[in-house]
Amino acid sequence: MTLISLDGTRLRDGVSIRRSEQQAATALGWSGSSLSSVEHVGHVPAHGPTFGPANPPVTNDNWVDDFPYMVKPEEAPLEYRDMHFRIALAPANDDDNDNDAAEDPDANHADKKPRGCFDDEKRKQTADTRRRKACVRCRTQRIRCVENPKDPHGDCMTCLSVDTTSRKTTRPVHCMRSKLTDIILYRPAGSLNYTQRWDGSRVTDVNDWDGPLIQHIDMMQDICPVGFPIRLEVRKFHPREGDRVHREWYTASKARRHEIAPYALANLSKTVQYFKDYVSEHAEKAWRQYWKRKGQDDIISRHYSEAMAHTHSLHLPPQERELLENVFKLWFATQITLGSSWISSEDKLGIMPETDPAYPQPNKAPTPKMVVAQFDRLNPIYVLRQLRAKVLKGLEKLTQSPRRESFFTVYMTIYILLHVVTLTCQDRHDYAKRHNNRLRYDMPPFIENLQHGAVLMLCHWDYYKGRSNAKGEDKALTLEEILENGGVSPSQRTLILDSERRVTQLKAEGKITTEDYENPYFWISQMFDKSWSPGQVWQAKHY
């Protein structure tokens, strides 16, 4: 064993290595047959150290104290942090101690060359990929996504090079250049256009008040837990041109209007913090209330119930529990953007309930439109944006991980998000019908982006569930095989298989048809397709 020391901590005793290091080596069982070399490399003084022969004779275990070769002292001892250690293990066979590996401790790593700088072509490809984003397959496999020069917006060259006739290619290759974090799940801030006071992603307090009186009201929606309204402080203001102060709806014969007193939130920043706390505290209550509603589909209700049980499982990793808790909050905050709200408190601000049976919330006092307009901005900007980022980043991390024990968490997250897409499509379709809109949906650009996001989720899901258990290689698996390798519980397995049977039955009965976007099973049924391919999303012919 060759040993060189530049450590000056014991040089005054004429010792070239500290006893503690020799004792540690002895305790670990390192000897000449197993330790090829140990080097202590530090800052060499200007005059340089003086050494004897490179291989001093070793006659016993206490050779350190008998070491006859003196090193010229340094002016100051080296600090431990200034020393660097390199240890190379030699072959177990003593006869091989003189081979190249013993002489060069890094010989075993000679074949691992560091990646050099990209050439100009690779740099351009990397920049183009960052600009247009890598496809799902290339990103998951961490391979280069090469742009097709003949069709830059089409399938990448990497996906086109896959031999679809090979037995190793067990399923179609879908080249989609979008990330999960690009998905749209809620309408943009200010999309209701109830006021022209703010533009872009900003909202401020109303300043043109009609008096100092602050009043307290309770605002309710169908999704809010019973007994837990949204409590607000409001204040009367002077309307400007462009402020909506009435509610409109349509009957078979004509348009109807209900005038509403002009009230706005008294303190926007205070309301934002209150609403964040409200969503966090009551999301699970709303979740439980939703799945217990009468008329709810039994399979969908079981998913909501099983998601809650899975979240509170003692064996669930913390990051998965956090993801599902954020899913509940995102779901709740999204549902608050759907449907109509009303004042449930005794103080109704002088607003009379509407008795017209065609009114969306008959016999209830509508919420002031400026309050609705302010929530139309503060919810997406201050609540939904943060929750969406947390959920989609957490989901993306799990879908790209080879760890299959997270299968049910991924399944449940995508299932719920696809159901949110369906509920949102239903809401905008109902709104369009109530207002005699010639298009199928209100807010056409938003619905197109929403449904494109659903297709993107299904693409990630199809790729995720088709990967093998061990190495993430492409492999065709039946649903039973996936569940065997997915670490699901018996109740979770039963739920998924029951869902597959329900979907098969509905398709056989013709109850799930093409472009039936408002059908509760339209999007989630595609999670069970054995050979999934991207379907057509709704597109408005004109806006």
- 215 and 265 in a single domain? The answer is yes
Please check whether residue 188 lies inside any domain of the structure: no
Are residues 349 and 283 both part of a single domain? yes
What is the mean predicted confidence (pLDDT) over 523-543?
Answer: 85
Give the lowest-confidence range in 101-105, 187-191, 287-291. 101-105
Which pLDDT does position 125 carry in this prediction? 67
Give the residue-averaged pLDDT of 237-258.
88
- At 395, is the pLDDT very low, low, confident or very high (cuts 50, 70, 90)? very high
Q: What is the pLDDT of residue 78?
A: 43
| Res 196 pLDDT > 70 | yes
What would the pLDDT profile of 178-193 be if each residue is shown by its tens digit?
788 889 999 999 999 9
Is 380 domain-assigned?
yes
Per-residue pLDDT tens over the stretch 410-447 = 999 999 999 999 999 999 999 998 888 889 999 999 99
> Based on the domain organization, do 103 and 163 belong to the same domain?
no
DSSP code per residue over 428-466: HHHHHHHTT-SSSSSSHHHHHHHHHHHHHHHHHHHHHHT
Compare 359 and 492 and report the one with higher pLDDT.
Answer: 492
What is the pLDDT of the chain when averaged over all its residues? 79
pLDDT band of residue 26 (cuts 50, 70, 90) is low
pLDDT at 363 over 70: yes
Q: Is residue 190 part of a domain?
A: no
* Residue 467 lies in domain: 408-543
| Domain termination residue (choose one: 352, 375, 400) | 400
- Alpha carbons 104 and 36: distance in angstroms, whole number: 9
- Phi and psi for 145 in degrees, rounded to 5? -95, 100
- Per the listing, tokens 């830059």 go with 152
Look up residue 403 and give its two tokens: 């760890």
pLDDT above 90: residue 539:
no
Looking at the structure, do residues 414 and 391 belong to the same domain, yes or no? no
Give me the amino acid identity at 138: C
DSSP state of 267: -
Would you state the pLDDT for residue 296? 87
Whether 431 and 351 share a structural domain: no
Phi–psi pair at 440, nearest 5 degrees: -65, -35
Opening angle at CA 349, ends 346 and 353, nearest 5: 70
Structure tokens at 465: 């569930």
Mean pLDDT in residue range 313-338:
96
Helix (H, G, I), strand (E, B) or coil at 215: strand
- β 35-41/255-259 pair status: unpaired
| Residue 244 confidence (pLDDT) above 60 | yes
To which residue do tokens 């350190």 refer? Answer: 64
Same domain, 6 and 95: yes
Q: Are 297 and 342 found together in one domain?
A: yes
Shared domain check, 394 and 509: no
Give me the mean pLDDT over the 511-533 stretch: 92
Q: Are residues 434 and 350 both part of a single domain? A: no
Per-residue pLDDT at 136 exceeds 90: no
pLDDT for 476:
61
In a domain, 155, yes or no: yes
Identify whether residues 255 and 388 lie together within a single domain.
yes
| The predicted structure's pLDDT at residue 38 | 42
DSSP 126-152: HHHHHHH---HHHHHHT------TT-T
Residue count of the chain, please give it: 543
What type of residue sits at position 275?
Answer: F
Has residue 317 got a pLDDT over 70? yes
Nearest Cα to Cα of residue 99 among 107, 110, 38, 30: 107
Total domains present in the chain: 4
Task: Report pLDDT for 61.
Answer: 46
pLDDT of residue 482: 79
Domain boundary among 59, 89, 109: 109
- DSSP states of 319-339: HHHHHHHHHHHHHHHHHHTSS
Q: Model confidence over 12-21: pLDDT tens digits? A: 444 444 454 5
Residues 6+ apart with CB under 8 A from 127: none
Contact 492, 310 (CB under 8 A): yes
Instruction: Spell out where 281-381 has E strands.
Output: 342-343, 365-366
Q: What is the mean pLDDT of the segment spanning 240-264? A: 88
Structure tokens at 210: 């009609």
Provide the sign of the torsion angle of the four alpha carbons 335, 339, 343, 344, taken in this order. negative
pLDDT reported for residue 68: 45
For range 494-521, the mean pLDDT: 94
Which residues, at least 6 apart from 86, have a Cβ–Cβ distance to it below 8 Å?
Answer: 37, 38, 39, 41, 105
pLDDT band at 295 (very low <50, low <70, confident <90, very high): confident
Confidence of residue 365 (pLDDT cuts 50, 70, 90): very high
Q: Is the pLDDT of residue 536 over 90?
A: no
Q: Is 474 helix (H, G, I), strand (E, B) or coil?
A: strand
